[in-house]
Homo-oligomer: A and B are copies of this chain.
């Protein structure tokens, strides 16, 4: 075994991102509490407000979530009156997610609320852009690398 450096939690980029993600989640969940939306429910609504109706699959592509997560989430949104789930007539495999009238009516209220949150965050557009660009780079690396042999072979087989 070659000499190995210690791995410290506080130096891990992954933990910084994991931790920030949880804080964002908590922040938006609190801010959206008056609407009764969780963070994942909120991002689903964002996509639908952009372009409804969508199939479960299309929504999953945008959110990077599969039906195992979305099906129960959408059932909860339906129960709370935000969306309707309708089997497509032209392709019975698909389920189309439509906005309800309530969802359409409340869109601008939510948009405004989110705008207030972004103001509270106190970051300039430039800062946000910079950070998002860096994150895109990291995510691309992670995508590229996820098919690497490192994660497909046993550790013992490595040099």
Known: A27-B151, A113-B155, A123-B141. 14 other contacts (CB 8 A): A5-B111, A6-B111, A9-B62, A12-B46, A14-B24, A16-B132, A17-B135, A19-B139, A20-B142, A35-B155, A113-B158, A120-B141, A122-B141, A123-B138
Q: A134: which B residues are within 8 A, CB to CB? A: 127, 130-131, 134
**Quick check: is A128 within 8 A (CB to CB) of the other chain?**
yes
**Quick check: is A31 within 8 A (CB to CB) of the other chain?**
yes
CB-CB under 8 A for A8 and B50, given A20-B139, A24-B14, A120-B145: yes
Is there an interface contact between A114 and B7, defined as CB atoms closer than 8 Å?
Answer: yes
Of the residues B22, B25, B116, contact of A158 by C-beta under 8 Å: B116
CB distance from A135 to the nearest CB of B (A): 4
What separation, in Å, do the CA atoms of A117 and B142 have in the docked complex?
A: 10
Is there an interface contact between B135 and A121, defined as CB atoms closer than 8 Å?
Answer: no
How extensive is the interface on chain A, given as a class? 35 or more
What separation, in Å, do the CA atoms of A7 and B100 have in the docked complex?
A: 19
Is there an interface contact between A64 and B13, defined as CB atoms closer than 8 Å?
Answer: no
Chain A residues near B (Cβ < 8 Å)? 1-2, 4-9, 11-28, 30-31, 33-35, 39, 43, 46-47, 49-50, 62-64, 108-117, 120-123, 127-128, 130-132, 134-136, 138-139, 141-143, 145-146, 148, 150-152, 154-156, 158
Is there an interface contact between B146 and A30, defined as CB atoms closer than 8 Å?
Answer: yes
Q: A28: which B residues are within 8 A, CB to CB? A: 14
Instruction: Choose among A33, A43, A131 the residue with the greatest number of B CB atoms under 10 Å from its CB.
Output: A131
